[in-house]
Structure 1
Amino acid sequence: MSITLASTPANADEENEDFAAVGAGAAVLLDGAGVAGADTGCVHGIAWFSSTLGALLLRTITARPDAPLADCLAGALAEVRSLHSGTCDVGHPASPTSTVVAIRVHEGTAEYLALGDSTVVLAERGGKCTAVTDRRLDDAGRELRRSMDTLPTGSAEHVAALAEFRTALTSLRNRPGGFWIAGPDPEAARHALTGSAPLASLDSVSLLSDGASRLVDRFAFASWADIVGLLGSAGPDALIRRVRAAESQDPVGKRWPRGKSRDDATALHWSFA
């Protein structure tokens, strides 16, 4: 087995709000969500939330190999809440949140979890690739972002529309009919997508933040099989370079409307060969 990992911020002078880590028989990847510099009610920030949650989750899923991944995530969320409830307003509507994807290998089985729009790609030995992504956030925001997507990314009008979009989306967070994401309420973990596959059937598993997966699901420059092949042959750094090249072709989002021209990008590839 071998694991490769790369992560870069959207811009060199900005904090990376993604987090990824590997432990004994497990790996996690989180993409912090929020508005950097805006009032979130949290003195620590988005990157602190995603990295703290990720570290606690990795510790839990390795220490409790028989516990369901959703239970492990709920426990880690409760721990993070207790760590900053005394200093921060965890009930703030813009309190930091994060997507979560995780993989654990135990007794011949590969278990996975996905909450939010990061992606788990399961590559079978026969060549078939299955991408598991929680699309409820995209579904909830599709109508809300329609007018925003007609504006040049980064323009004053787009910035204003993006702020309105985020405010409207917050009202749908962690409630039926909306979407679920890791945040102050541990109950969100119960709504994660989970599953498993026999380890013997898999060639690899890849974890991608939406900043890395956009080469497929936003730009349509590659298939999931293409991504897995690139990760296996050239590594996660090569994938992120491909993403940056595509972003540079359309900096204002005319061809590919998006909230951010560039995004934090993180990719982790676990080969079982």
Structure 2
Amino acid sequence: MEFATEPGDPAKPNEDFIAAGPTTLVLLDGCGTPVGSPSGCIHSVAWYVGRLGLELFTRASTDHERTLTDCLADAITATAAQHADTCDLDHPGTPSATVIVARQVAEQLEYLVLADSTLAIETPDGIQVITDDREGQVGNKYRGPMDAAAAGTAEHVAAHRAYVEAMRAHRNQPGGFWVAATNPAAAAEALTGTIPLNKVQGITALSDGASRAVDRFELTDWQGALDILRQQGPEALIAQVRAAEQADPDGSRWPRGKAQDDATAAWCQSRPI
């Protein structure tokens, strides 16, 4: 297992979370509110993802009798209880996170993906790419003004805030998109599955700040990204993303909400059984 993580802005906390053990990998990408937009919570997004990540990793790695869906629901409930007395957990801007979990149980690899982080599983039949694109589908109808404004300008800041606030009406709602926040029912909306362990050659987990290399910037395809991870390491993939971001600081070539985003990449090669 190799992984690397880097904040989009060195002056701000990294809102990604990653933890790995002998059988389990957990990656979260925190989601918050833009400056000037209320959240109802006194805590930072980094605070939230740190606690949710630890709750989820502990459960998923130690209690193999519970499904990954149940582990995530339990972790959401336990994290909500840690700030229920101080924060408005019903506020639509409360901190949230995307989720990836991959876990070995006996002869199977179990996985769970919620929201727009990406899990890629290498098998003899090719690369199985699992990502939950419901947020992107909903967001397409709102992102026009944000994409039209140059990143870093007052117009882009205002358009990004309007985009985030418009998306709140669809978050954790039927017909919308789902993230881990305070409602454990979101766990049941995750994409889940199993693959026989003897078919798994490797797994890759990417927050959307790292998957930009493929799904937004198109610097390479999925096979190319996995080759970079295998041959050069996760730091090299993130470095390519950073170079592309810095070459397009105003988002004119690649319109995006954040000029630079937190980026996390993890790669694991399976050992023969």
Query: Do Structure 1 and Structure 2 share a fold, with TM-score over 0.5?
Result: yes
Aligned-partner Cα distance in 2 for 1:125–1:242: 28
Which residue pairs with 1:138 in the alignment?
136
Aligned-partner Cα distance in 2 for 1:141–1:125: 35
Q: 132-141 vs 144-153, which deviates more? A: 144-153
Is 2:41 aligned against 1:42?
yes
Is the 8 Å Cα contact of residues 102 and 114 (structure 1) preserved in structure 2? yes
Cα-to-partner distance string for 1:66-110 (whole Å, 9 max, x where unaligned): 321111100000000111101111111200010001100111111
Which residue pairs with 2:159 in the alignment?
161
Is the 8 Å Cα contact of residues 150 and 250 (structure 2) preserved in structure 1? yes
Is the 8 Å Cα contact of residues 34 and 161 (structure 2) preserved in structure 1? no
Which residue pairs with 2:176 in the alignment?
178
Aligned-partner Cα distance in 2 for 1:25–1:123: 17
Which residue pairs with 2:28 in the alignment?
30
Which residue pairs with 1:57 in the alignment?
56
Contiguous gaps of at least 5 residues in structure 2 = none
Query: Alignment partner of 2:28: what SS?
Result: strand
Which residue pairs with 2:103 in the alignment?
104
The alignment covers a number of residue pairs equal to 270
Q: Which runs of 4+ in 1 moved over 4 A?
A: none
Query: How high is the TM-score relative to the length of structure 2?
Result: 0.96
Aligned-partner Cα distance in 1 for 2:61–2:83: 24
Is the 8 Å Cα contact of residues 36 and 46 (structure 1) preserved in structure 2? no
Query: Alignment partner of 1:123: what SS?
Result: strand
Aligned-partner Cα distance in 2 for 1:125–1:51: 35
Which residue pairs with 1:211 in the alignment?
209
Cα-to-partner distance string for 1:152-198 (whole Å, 9 max, x where unaligned): 11211111111111110001100011100100111100100001111
- The structure 1 residue matched to 2:197, chosen from 196, 199, 203, is 199
Aligned-partner Cα distance in 2 for 1:39–1:248: 30
Provide the identity percentage.
42
Is the 8 Å Cα contact of residues 111 and 195 (structure 1) preserved in structure 2? yes
Is the 8 Å Cα contact of residues 123 and 228 (structure 1) preserved in structure 2? no
